[in-house]
Structures are given as structure tokens and as C-alpha cells.
Amino acid sequence: MPPAIPSMTDWLIAIVLNAVLLGLLAIAPKKLLTPGGIVNAWILGVIVWGCLGWRGYLLVVFYFLVGSGVTFVGKAQKEALGIAEARSGARGAGNVWGSALVGAICALLVLGLNVTQFAIDFIPLLALGYVASFCTKLSDTCGTEIGKAYGQRTFLITTLKPVPRGTEGAVSLEGTIAGVVGSVAIAIVGWSLGLISPIGIGICAIAAFVATTIESLIGATIEDKVPFLTHDVVNILNTLIGAIVAISIGLLLPR
């Protein structure tokens, strides 16, 4: 069933709720977002709540809390090795849109189709792409952070030669397992919120695995060689691949 077309009240709730929640984050002792990150997270939150309602919004909240939390796993060890996230893990504007631009576009497309009543049968596929984009990003975050903290044997994905933890394009068994667990966990949340069907859980997990594998290949081969391929741009490509793979699989299944 398509989400209800948002009313002016829905948009006002989105504006006020995000202002309150992000205001609390701004004054919290532990900074999870930079000032620029807070402003852009407010924009993202308003878009998601306005387009997909509280269900879509809670999925983003789950991603943010788990993604931020896993960044602090083994933080002291990662800092000692010089491979910890910058700004002590606080997310900036680039991080916000690197993680959520594709999801926001899916949400806006859902709203557009819902309002115009054009091709509304495509809305469930866009919702699947929305969930898959966050599954992909959480898989990437969990795999990277757990791999950097606990990876015992880290290999470059293109050559399978051992490399230090934190190397672009490196993979480890521990990180790979963590990535799969992260993607399945948020996919289950998406299903419990009514955004995807039970089979969508498997689709999102597959899409996330494919996308993060491709991202590792990009990191190992061309990320450092192409000027515009910043970390945030690669994250956008990663989530876009995840969404496209999920939607493509969804199109092949009987509806």
C-alpha cells in the first residue's frame, strides 16, 4: 500500500521533530554530528518524514544510531593505529549525503509518484531501493569498523595479498561477517516497519553484499587515482549500486 500523501501537518511535524531531536544532539556532550552535519541531517530528516512518514524516518534513525555506535568499537586501538574516523567519529555534511542521498532520492520519487498517481505500482520497488541503500551503507560501516578493530587477517580484495588494517579495498573475515549482520539487521527493521516484504530482507542483504564488494574493488583500484572519487562520492556510488541491484532483483520477481 502506498504511503499516505503528506499533509501540511505532516511537514510541520517533520520540521519541529527534527529541530528538537537535532537540537538535543547539538548540546549533547558526545558529538555525533558536526554543526554542518546537524543542518544537513535536519534537511534529510524533513525529507524522509515528509515523503515516507515515521516508518521511513525510523529506518534512518536506526542506521544513524548503529552506524555511529559501531564507529566507537575498538576506538582506542584504531586511533593508536591511525585508522580511526576523523573528528572522533562525528559526521559532517558530506557523511550525511554520502550515506543518504540515494535514500532521499528514492523517498522523493515515492512522494512524486504518490502525489501524481503515476506508476504507483513502482512505489514498492522504490521503497525496496530505499531500504537497500541504507542496508548497503550500514553493511559498509559495520564491515569497515569491525574489520579495522578486530580483523586478524586483512587482504586486498584484488590480489588477496595481506595488507594492514584500514587499507582501501581491504577485506577481512570479521569485517565481512559484521557487514552481512548489519545489512540483515536493518533489512529486518525495514520489514518490521512495513517498508519491504519478507523476501525483501534477502534481496537487500544480497544487494548490500554486491555493492560493498564493488566498493572494495573501487577502493583497491581507482579511488586514489581519480580526483573526484572522494570518500563521500564513493559512498554515494556504493548506496546507488545497492539500490539498483535490489530494484533490479525486485523487477525480476513476480508481483
Question: pLDDT for 15-56, tens place per residue?
Answer: 999 999 999 989 988 788 999 999 999 999 999 999 999 999
Bigger pLDDT: 37 vs 88: 37
Whose grid coordinates read 501540511? 8
C-alpha cell of 119?
Answer: 506508476
What are the distances in angstroms from CA 64 to CA 72, 90, 211, 221, 243? 13, 11, 19, 29, 18
**pLDDT at residue 81, as a whole number:** 66
* Strand pairing class (154-156; 170-172): antiparallel
C-alpha cell of 135?
Answer: 542496508
Sequence-distant (6+) residues with CB within 8 A of 86 are none
Average pLDDT over residues 234-250: 97
Bigger pLDDT: 58 vs 89: 58
User: Is 159's pLDDT higher than 70?
Assistant: yes
42-56, 89-103, 129-143: the lowest-pLDDT one: 89-103
Average pLDDT over residues 56-61: 97
Q: From its phi and psi, is residue 175 left (phi > 0), alpha (psi between -120 and 50) or beta? A: alpha
Average pLDDT over residues 138-163: 91
Cα distance between residue 30 and residue 15, in whole Å? 24
**pLDDT at residue 80, as a whole number:** 64
At residue 254 the predicted structure's pLDDT band, cuts being 50, 70 and 90, is: confident
Q: Are 113 and 182 in contact (CB under 8 A)?
A: no
What is the CA angle 109-100-244, rounded to 5?
Answer: 60
